[in-house]
């Protein structure tokens, strides 16, 4: 029997998973998926910012388009740190395509206008 707290949403359900991968304590179906994923290959969303060379902001906020394997978090952060962008860029522009071959893009999460 494994116990964990679901992190899919802020509700934070207390999950229990038995030897047969039966999940209980979940409020929604995503809890089941989370629990099984978390035991086999844990994944996390990553958010950060990139440097703006020209635009109305100093930093542009970015996020992974999908969760990435937990053990790749710092490698992906290193890629994000290398990026510099110029405005204008609409929200949800691809900033890094297929980062480290993970089939995940780094996308912007805010509108960047020209200065």
- Does 111 interact with another protein (rule: CB under 8 A)? yes
Q: Does residue number 61 form part of the binding site for another protein (CB under 8 A)?
A: yes
Among the residue ranges 16-24, 50-58, 94-102, the one whose residues contact another protein (CB under 8 A): 50-58
**Block residue for tokens 């100093």:** 58
Of the candidates 51, 66, 86, 115, which one interacts with another protein according to CB under 8 A?
51
Q: Strand, coil or helix: what is 95?
A: strand
Minimal distance in Å, beta carbon 113 to another protein?
A: 10
Q: Does 44 bind another protein (CB under 8 A)?
A: yes
> Taking CB under 8 A as the rule, does residue 100 contact another protein?
no
User: Is 112 among the residues that bind another protein (CB under 8 A)?
Assistant: no
Q: Nearest CA to 95 among 55, 57, 56, 48?
A: 48
User: What's the CA dihedral at 37, 3, 14, 10 to 10 degrees?
Assistant: -50
Beta carbons of 27 and 12 less than 8 angstroms apart: no
- Cis peptide leading into residue 88 (ω within 30°): yes
Binding site for another protein (CB under 8 A): 4-12, 14, 44-49, 51, 57-59, 61, 63, 70, 73-74, 77, 91-92, 109-111
């Amino acid at each position: 029997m494994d116990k964990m707290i679901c992190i899919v949403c802020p509700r934070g359900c207390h999950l229990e998973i038995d030897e047969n991968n039966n999940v209980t304590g979940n409020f929604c179906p995503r809890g089941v998926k989370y629990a099984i994923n978390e035991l086999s290959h844990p994944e996390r969303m990553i958010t950060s910012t990139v440097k703006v060379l020209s635009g109305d902001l100093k930093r542009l906020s970015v996020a992974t388009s999908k969760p990435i394997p937990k053990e790749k978090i710092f490698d992906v952060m290193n890629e994000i740190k290398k990026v510099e962008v110029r405005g204008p860029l609409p929200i949800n522009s691809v900033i890094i395509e297929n980062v480290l071959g993970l089939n995940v893009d780094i996308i912007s999460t805010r509108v960047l206008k020209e200065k």
